[in-house]
Amino acid sequence: MKVNFPVAAAPDPAAAEAARLLFAGPVDFLKGVVHMDGLPPATRPEVCFAGRSNVGKSSLINALTGRKGLARASNTPGRTQEINYFTLGEHSYLVDLPGYGYAKAPLAIVAKWQTLLKTYLAGRQTLKRAFCLIDARHGIKEVDHEIMKLLDRSAVPFQVVMTKTDKLGPNALKPVLAQVAEELQKHPAAYPELVVTSSEKNEGIATLRTIIAGLD
């Protein structure tokens, strides 16, 4: 049966305000993890952000938290080399994963990142949802399917977040959303709703905050 993937509607004002206050509170970098035994205790829910190198994960985390320098953004693909943990008050962890796909690093190091990434996604019991970031200029590519298949096999629900929508003209987004919806038919773990964002324009940020705040 074909699944619809509508764009998430703007949140209820009261829920949006509660989420805004949550993200306006303490948000701190906790640690960078390079081995699974370095993960913090699984004592609270967490959400992670996954995507191709340079898709805008760090920029999105900075926009969500309203802190420009919290996650290190770079124009160099593959800069995030660790699983970076941030505490969202006492509520949950925000987890910035290494970019997958292309990275300017030696092959052995890239392979190490990918192994860490796959082990984390397959084995973290407190992971409530993975947010798979897709560049709105490019849509879903084969390398995205690789991570989505891993999430399917691990029964980890994931939700697609479209990034950099400000880079498109007003009529260019519609066919990309159609392509994404069609590609997601292949993935049973895909949450049936898309989040459309622009970190530059702060579009969709309140919606994503509200979704995360509701994942207890």
Report if residue 55 sits inside a domain: yes
Give the mean model confidence (pLDDT) for residues 100-123: 73
| Residue-wise pLDDT tens digits, 17-40 | 999 999 999 999 999 988 888 999
Report if residue 194 sits inside a domain: yes
Indicate the number of domains in the chain. 1
Half-sphere exposure of 64 (CA within 13 A, CB side): 32
| Residue-wise pLDDT tens digits, 56-95 | 988 999 999 998 888 765 444 444 578 899 999 999 999 9
pLDDT of 110 > 80? The answer is: no
pLDDT at 98: 80
pLDDT at 68: 82
Report if residue 2 sits inside a domain: no
pLDDT of 97 > 60? The answer is: yes
Q: Say which CATH number the domain at 78 has.
A: 3.40.50.300
Report if residue 4 sits inside a domain: no
Report if residue 124 sits inside a domain: yes
For the chain, the average pLDDT equals: 89
CB 160 within 8 Å of CB 184:
yes
pLDDT of 103 > 70? The answer is: no
Report if residue 59 sits inside a domain: yes
Give the mean model confidence (pLDDT) for residues 122-147: 92
pLDDT at 105: 62
| Residue-wise pLDDT tens digits, 190-202 | 999 999 999 999 9
Report if residue 100 sits inside a domain: yes
Alpha helix ranges (H) inside the chain: 13-24, 57-65, 107-123, 142-154, 173-184, 205-213
pTM, 2 dp:
0.91
Expressed as residue numbers, the domain containing 149 is 13-213
Report if residue 1 sits inside a domain: no
Enumerate residues 6+ apart whose C-beta is below 8 A from 77.
53, 54, 99, 102, 103, 104
